[in-house]
Amino acid sequence: MNYHIQVERARLLMQQGRFDLAEQSLRAAVALEPDNGLAYSYLALVVIEKKEYDSAEEFAKRGVSLSPDDPMAHYTLSVILRQRNRLRQAEASIDAAIEFDPTSSAFYAQKAAIKIEQKQWKDVVHATDLGLQFDPDDVDCTNLRAIALTKLGRRDEAGMTIRTALAAAPEEADTHANMGWTLLHGGEPRQAAEYFKEALR
């Protein structure tokens, strides 16, 4: 099995949550092409699921080193650094990813997630608005935008944002939870409870 087939197989396994099998495919890919950065970036995302933070950061940095022009490599490093609570470095990495590809809604969602942790609510709205320009159905951008709008006291707008997300992805637990919080902050605990129940389901 060649390098690209192994990486694609791993990517599909990751989407299915089968991280052990994905790791096997990625390590096989690395053995085939040790100087190709893509497999290292995916390996970082796999091992972070096992809370192997040092290994994840090492793989992510290796991915950037081998593929410095690949926005995915910078995005991956940002994800790992954010999980390690190194927010300034995480932001620098996602900014690099956005510079290489300013049209990826996932990159703006990552930027917004960093800003959420810094409690910079207006910056969250700005980042998610940019992301939603490129993919109006991006659930992560929509949910993060709704959280920020709620924190800014713009609850009606937050509710509209979440309803849009629910229409696009009605099975998304985080979106139901966000609607619950928005309603709770708006003084509607009974309706909020229904959305929290649905999120748990």
Q: How deeply is 85 buried, as exposed, middle or buried, from its count of CB atoms within 10 A (0-12, 13-18, 19+)? A: exposed
pLDDT of residue 170: 65
pLDDT of residue 153: 85
Query: What CA–CA distance (Å, rounded) separates 42 from 4?
Result: 12
pLDDT of residue 181: 59
Residue-wise over 156-180: b if at least 16 C-beta within 10 A, else e? ebbbebbebbbeeeeebebbbbbbb
Low-confidence ranges of the chain (pLDDT < 70): 165-201
Which of 98, 156, 96 is closest to 130 using CA atoms? 98
pLDDT of residue 151: 87
pTM (2 d.p.): 0.82
26, 43, 86, 115 from 105: Cα distances, Å: 26, 22, 22, 15
Torsion sign across C-alpha atoms 28, 30, 32, 36: positive
Which of 127, 121, 196 is closest to 154 using CA atoms? 121
Break the chain down into helix, strand, coil percent, rounded to 5. Answer: 80, 0, 20
pLDDT of residue 182: 62
pLDDT of residue 137: 84
